[in-house]
Chains A and B, each alone.
Chain A
Amino acid sequence: MRVVPVAVAARNLAAGYGGNPVWSDASFEIESGSFVALLGPNGAGKSTLVRMLLGLLPAAAGELEILGAAPRRGNPSIGYLPQGGHVDAELSLRGRDYVGLGLDGHRWGIPLPGRGARAAARAVDEAVSAVNAQDYADRQIGRLSGGEHQRLHLAQALVGEPRILLLDEPLSNLDVRNQAAMTSLVAEVAHARGLTVLLIAHDVNPLMPHIDQVMFVAGGKVTIGRPDEVINGEALSKIFDAPIEVLRDSRGRVFVVGLEEQVTHAHDHSPGDA
């Protein structure tokens, strides 16, 4: 049970809200321990896939397995960082308490002092160290910077010792330097712990040094492959049946052009998808 070679498997999977399809006929496998970037235009259904993996949304059709089992709510093997995961600036809570919620926040009752509390405190310390947040873990979380924030969010996702991380746009509110730092941190932690990572992003460039696979969700379709196979104008044009170009600048950064328009079909049906 400890080693499952396939972390996520989908067969003819379709996603939708209330009978309106977002995407369909997706079949793919994500190997255990791989780092996957999930890309695509807004509203194409990237978060929808994450919600399905979390057991918060049923599959419209087809099959989906995560770590060899059907998705279910409250799966302790998943560490989740939601989109727009900011907390109220006035929220009076230490970063450490926030991280601790990832460990036992789902349990009833109040935390009682004793052996359990000491073990919990050690687990929180360990998660805080894993993201290098020792310096500010005791400060009020609402007053921290975006980068510090995201590290503590990651610590909260890690504290329960998950086997897969689902990170929904963890880079979106960070500057370029922090994007690179956050991506390296995720890659480092995932490598050390053998975690599978599914990371939703808008820009693939900060992820390029670390990712094993790229998944594109656009125009009602899902495709996955190695970066060099998939980030390719010809391949993308064929998959999404549209003129898509991949441009490279002098620093080697890639830009996928033409995919943004591949949302209209799905968007018409699912205005609620984020």
Chain B
Amino acid sequence: MPALTSAPPSPDLNPVVDVQLLLHYAFMQHAFEAGTIVAITAGVIGYFVVMRNSSFAAHALSHIGFAGATGAVVVGASPVTGLLAFTVVAAGVMGALGNRLRGRDVTIGIVLSWTLGLGVLFLSLYTGYATEAYALLFGEILGISARDVLITLVAGAITLAALVTIYRPLLFASVDEDVAAARGVPVDALSIVFMVILAVAVSEAVQVVGVLLIFSLIVTPAAIAERFTTRPSRTLALSAGLALLFTWSGLAISFFTPYPVSFFITSIAFGAYVLARAATRPG
């Protein structure tokens, strides 16, 4: 694991030299590659998460994925496999619960706390892997391998292709479910498909920011973007752009300091949200 145990490099006054320095190491190249894919995917799907009021579901999916990932470690499988399996199954169930069900968040919360308990059990069964748990909870982008980058790329491409395919009906169903259903949009099936796509996106994003910090890439950029523009195409572009900005600047700052990437990504995202709120205060 190429963690920077020695003193971090100092930034140069010339930004070109800094960028060369940043991309000098293979682990940083991989981190930027994976971070870019994850940021674009998260920024795009975040638009629909915010529009469908599904931020809690996105948050819950990542926590449920934690149990899957730790469970996979216990049986000797790759954590990403467990993460994907658990989030996709949970997403299917959440999607089937539908958008309208009033008790949906309560049900999700109850399942979420139980799976977190499962995660704790799996961790205790597999002692000696505290770093694995730490990575899952808070992200491990600096340890990402070339193979993981490729997996992330494939998952990201599938996520985006699926979103492009269902874009208009999903927007229609998210905005006005009754009219969409009357116009022949399969709203119930779309609800399930969307949640499954979200599960894949969440599983990708966990590698960068970990299960606890998923909000900063999936919800924050979209929440900021929709304060500035009401056109779907612009909101999507701005959301993806912001997610990229948070990820890249978090990686860059972290490289020159001894502190974790996730801290910088989440802090920049938080700062940007506070600024956006202040700048767009109504009245």
B100 at the interface (CB under 8 A from A): no
Q: Is B132 an interface residue (CB 8 A)?
A: no
Q: Which 9 A-B pairs have the closest CB atoms?
A: A74-B184, A105-B172, A92-B226, A82-B178, A106-B183, A54-B182, A110-B167, A80-B182, A101-B172
Judged by a CB distance under 8 angstroms, whether A140 is at the interface is yes
The listed residue (A55, A105, A156) touching B171 by CB distance below 8 A is: A105
B182 near A94 (CB under 8 angstroms)?
Answer: no
- Least CB distance from A12 to B in Å reads 25
Does A110 lie within 8 Å of B179, measured CB to CB? no
Is B235's CB within 8 Å of the partner chain A?
yes
For window 86-127 of chain A, which residues contact chain B by CB distance below 8 Å? 87-88, 91-94, 97-98, 101-102, 104-111
B11 on the A face (CB < 8 A): no
When each residue 172-208 of chain B gets 1 if its CB lies under 8 Å from chain A and 0 otherwise, what string results?
A: 1001101111111100000000000000000000000
B-side contacts of A88, CB under 8 Å: 53
Assuming the contacts A87-B176, A91-B51, A106-B172, asked whether A56 and B164 have C-beta atoms less than 8 A apart, the reply is no
Whether the pair A82, B176 counts as a contact (CB closer than 8 A) is yes
Beta-carbon contact of A73 and B182 below 8 Å: yes
Which chain B residues lie closer than 8 Å to A139 at the CB level? 230
Q: Of B172, B179, B230, which contacts A92 at CB under 8 A?
A: B230
What is the interface of chain B, defined by CB distance below 8 A to chain A? 51, 53, 164-169, 171-172, 175-176, 178-185, 226-227, 229-232, 235
Closest residue on chain B to residue A143 by CB atoms:
B282
A94: contacting residue among B169, B171, B172, B231, CB under 8 A: B231
Q: Which of A80, A101, A106, A157 contacts B175 (CB 8 A)?
A: A101
Contacts of B183 in A (CB 8 A): 74, 76, 80, 102, 105-106
Please measure, in the bound complex, the distance between the C-alpha atom of A140 and the C-alpha atom of B175, giving whole angstroms.
Answer: 13
Contacts of A157 in B (CB 8 A): 179
Which residues of B are found within 8 Å of A108, using beta-carbon distances?
Answer: 165-169
A191 to B180, CA, bound (A): 26
Shortest distance in angstroms between A122's beta carbon and chain B's nearest beta carbon? 18
Partner of B176, one of A56, A75, A101, A140: A101
Q: Which chain A residue lies CB-closest to B227?
A: A92
A85: B residues at CB distance < 8 A: 176, 178-179
Within 8 Å CB of B180, what residues of A?
101, 105-106
> Does chain B have a CB within 8 A of A78?
yes
CB distance from A11 to the nearest CB of B (A): 23
In the bound complex, residues from chain A placing their C-beta under 8 Å from that of B176 are: 82, 85, 87, 98, 101, 156
Quick one: given A82-B176, A92-B230, are A107 and B181 in contact (CB under 8 Å)? Answer: no
On chain A, the residues within 8 Å of B181 by CB distance are 56, 73
